[in-house]
């Protein structure tokens, strides 16, 4: 794994929901989990991907002509991509006149990211903000994440990571020693249900949460509220109980399920996994927040 270059799929500025103060978010590509509600499916694969936005396509056929792999066909002015044949060379994205085709994921150095992060230094200083390295799962690129966080610290920029917690303790330790705050995702306390909806057990995630909390790190627990998966009273009770056992938890953040990522699945040639599932109502979120407060937790609903 390279410390010199990392694969990212986005950088977003002015976030106020992803760690203390105003933050710049850096999204690293690659995640070991496959949560069915994931709103950043373009962050899951560990390699660049070809995205196709059908609504932008004007049916000119330039991509068909340039593709040396025969991965694109035009039928009745309608583009069809055979992703098995695609070698991700990116040639089609360079000739597409309407930006219907694009590559997701670019290799960058820590210095290149820092140049962008530095632009908002004045906001970090005014708000005690900084950089938050997210994903995907940043610990899948632990060496690069470590190098990036170290470089930020050397320049006096506060650091945070957002992690699924699904990583070896060695990777976790390597990274959190350069991290001021940890945003830690807990998705379901029941191991079987967790496996059913993410593809993996939660055992490692819960173990790592205990170890980080035991090391005294400021922790922000983040819980996606997914109707029918993790929002019934038993689920919430287990979450509150577990959170209370962790020292150093600053907030429990509830993140309501939304469908904003739906179009990204189509762009990647994938089906949206959750069908017509509806987001939780405001009333439901309010009652979950009230229940958390009654248990003595500092809770926020992040919309």
By the criterion CB under 6 A, which residues form the site for ligand SF4? 50, 57-63, 66-67, 69, 71-72, 79, 81, 86-92, 95-98, 100-101
Question: How far apart are CB 49 and ligand SF4 at their closest, in Å?
Answer: 10
Cβ burial of 188 (10 Å; 0-12, 13-18, 19+) is buried
The dihedrals phi and psi of 169, each to the nearest 5 degrees, come to -65, -30
Q: Which is nearer to ligand SF4, 58 or 302 (CB)?
A: 58
Question: How far apart are CB 76 and ligand SF4 at their closest, in Å?
Answer: 12
Q: Which is nearer to ligand SF4, 90 or 233 (CB)?
A: 90
Q: Which is nearer to ligand SF4, 50 or 213 (CB)?
A: 50
Question: How far apart are CB 42 and ligand SF4 at their closest, in Å?
Answer: 15
Q: Which is nearer to ligand SF4, 69 or 174 (CB)?
A: 69
Q: Which is nearer to ligand SF4, 87 or 281 (CB)?
A: 87
Of 127, 125, 128, 148, nearest to 8 (Cα)? 148
First to last CA, the chain: 35
Question: How far apart are CB 7 and ligand SF4 at their closest, in Å?
Answer: 16
Helix ranges, 184-302 (H)? 191-198, 203-214, 233-244, 262-267, 282-294
CA distances from 61 to 75, 82, 137 (A): 10, 15, 37
**CB atoms closer than 10 angstroms to residue 190:** 13
Q: Are strands 106-109 and 5-15 parallel, antiparallel or unpaired?
A: antiparallel
Question: How far apart are CB 84 and ligand SF4 at their closest, in Å?
Answer: 10
Q: Which is nearer to ligand SF4, 63 or 254 (CB)?
A: 63
> How far apart are alpha carbons 216 and 89 in whole angstroms?
46
Of 187, 167, 161, 195, nearest to 255 (Cα)? 187
Question: How far apart are CB 73 and ligand SF4 at their closest, in Å?
Answer: 10
CA distances from 169 to 165, 166, 189 (A): 9, 9, 20
Question: How far apart are CB 90 and ligand SF4 at their closest, in Å?
Answer: 5
The dihedrals phi and psi of 181, each to the nearest 5 degrees, come to -140, 150
Q: Which is nearer to ligand SF4, 72 or 158 (CB)?
A: 72
């Amino acid at each position: 794994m390279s410390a010199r270059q990392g694969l990212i799929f986005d950088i977003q500025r002015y976030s106020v929901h992803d760690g203390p103060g105003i933050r710049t978010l850096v999204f690293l590509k690659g995640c070991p989990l496959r949560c069915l509600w994931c709103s950043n499916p373009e962050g899951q694969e560990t390699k660049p991907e070809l995205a196709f936005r059908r609504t932008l396509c004007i049916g000119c056929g330039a991509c068909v002509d340039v593709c040396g792999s025969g991965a694109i066909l035009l039928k009745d002015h309608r583009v069809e991509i055979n992703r098995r044949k695609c070698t991700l060379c990116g040639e089609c994205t360079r000739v597409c006149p309407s930006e219907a085709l694009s590559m997701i994921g670019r290799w960058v150095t820590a210095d290149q990211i820092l140049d962008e992060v530095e632009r908002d230094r004045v906001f970090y200083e005014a708000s005690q903000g900084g950089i938050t390295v997210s994903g995907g799962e940043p610990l899948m690129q632990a060496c690069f994440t470590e190098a990036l966080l170290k470089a930020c610290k050397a320049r006096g920029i506060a650091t945070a990571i957002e992690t699924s917690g699904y990583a070896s303790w060695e990777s976790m330790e390597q990274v959190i020693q350069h991290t001021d705050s940890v945003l830690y995702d807990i998705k379901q306390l029941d191991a079987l249900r967790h496996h059913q909806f993410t593809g993996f057990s939660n055992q490692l995630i819960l173990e790592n949460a205990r170890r980080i909390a035991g090391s005294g790190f400021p922790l922000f627990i983040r819980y996606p509220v997914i109707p029918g998966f993790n929002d019934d009273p038993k689920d919430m009770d287990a979450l509150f109980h577990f959170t209370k056992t962790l020292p150093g938890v600053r907030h429990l953040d509830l993140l309501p399920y939304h469908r904003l990522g739906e179009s990204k699945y189509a762009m990647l040639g994938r089906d949206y996994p959750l069908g017509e599932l509806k987001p939780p109502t405001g009333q439901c979120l309010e009652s979950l927040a009230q229940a958390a407060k009654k248990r003595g937790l500092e809770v926020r609903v992040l919309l």
